[in-house]
Amino acid sequence: MHEPKQRRLGAEALWEYALRALGARAHSAGELRQKLLNRAQCPSDVPPILARLKERGYLDDRRYAEAYSASRLENEGWGKARVLGDLRKRRVAPALAEKAVATAYRDTDEVALIEAFLRRKFRRVALEAHLAEPKHLAAAYRRLRMAGFSSGDSLRVLKRLAKEPELLDALESEEEAGEPGPSL
């Protein structure tokens, strides 16, 4: 079964579509541009609509990136690399994304953030006992890396919490050699 073809929109309907999209959630200019191009009858209608949205203050990548970064830090407790990657996927200019993330994380202690993240994600188990098993230790490390934390700080925290910190030496060696993935 195939999906029905989306109706192509003229300039005025495209403007309304853009307003509805922005009313549902914030978008970067790049995200919204792609969304509008996918629905536009005439692709040349998109740039003037984006310009109008920016003029009216409805579309501002700097404000979007700053709010997104601060929100992911406060609400999700993610690391810088994850937030930066997500902003790039959302088509925010790399320099703008890097600046927003640096500003949001300026006064953040990554080690404390990692500890809080682990305690929150593993709140139903005794963390130190859980990390005594090599497979759980490797899983916790992968989870920290997916959440955007640096390998060095992740390993430092896990070594402090693990009953057998020497198990993490293999991960550290792989990271230094540039090899992918933990294999405890």
Which pLDDT score, from 0 to 100, does residue 182 have? 42
Position 1 in a domain:
no
* C-alpha 9 chain-centroid distance: 31
pTM attached to this predicted model: 0.80
Position 184 in a domain:
no
List, for residues 108-167, the tens digit of each pLDDT value. Answer: 999 999 999 999 988 898 888 888 888 888 899 999 999 999 999 999 999 888 776 666
For 172, the domain range is 110-177
Rg of the chain in Å (alpha carbons): 22
Rounded Cα–Cα distance for residues 76 and 117 (Å): 8
List, for residues 38-83, the tens digit of each pLDDT value. Answer: 999 999 999 999 999 999 999 999 999 999 999 999 999 999 999 9
Position 123 in a domain:
yes
Rounded Cα–Cα distance for residues 115 and 126 (Å): 14
The total number of structural domains that make up the chain? 3
Q: Residue 37: pLDDT band by 50, 70, 90 thresholds?
A: very high
Q: For residues 167 and 118, state if they share a domain.
A: yes
Rounded Cα–Cα distance for residues 114 and 148 (Å): 10
